[in-house]
Amino acid sequence: MRTPCLLLLTLCLLVSQVAPGVGLLTSLGHRPDHYMCYKNGGTCLYSSCPIYTKVIGTCYSGKAKCCK
- Would you kindly state where each structural domain of the chain is located, as residue ranges? 31-68
Which pLDDT band holds residue 5 (cuts at 50, 70, 90)? confident
- Helix H segments across the chain? 2-15, 33-39
Q: Are 32 and 58 in contact (CB under 8 A)?
A: no
Structure confidence at residue 63 (pLDDT) = 92
Is the per-residue pLDDT at 7 higher than 70? yes
DSSP state of 30: P
As a whole number of angstroms, the distance between CA 58 and CA 46 comes to 10
DSSP SS3 for 55: strand
The average pLDDT across 12-33 equals 64
At residue 15 the predicted structure's pLDDT band, cuts being 50, 70 and 90, is low
Q: Which CATH superfamily is domain 31-68 in?
A: Antimicrobial Peptide, Beta-defensin 2; Chain A (3.10.360.10)
pLDDT in tens, 26-47: 566 678 888 899 999 999 999 9
With CA atoms as reference, report the closest residue to 58 among 44, 40, 38, 41: 44
pLDDT surpasses 70 at 16: no
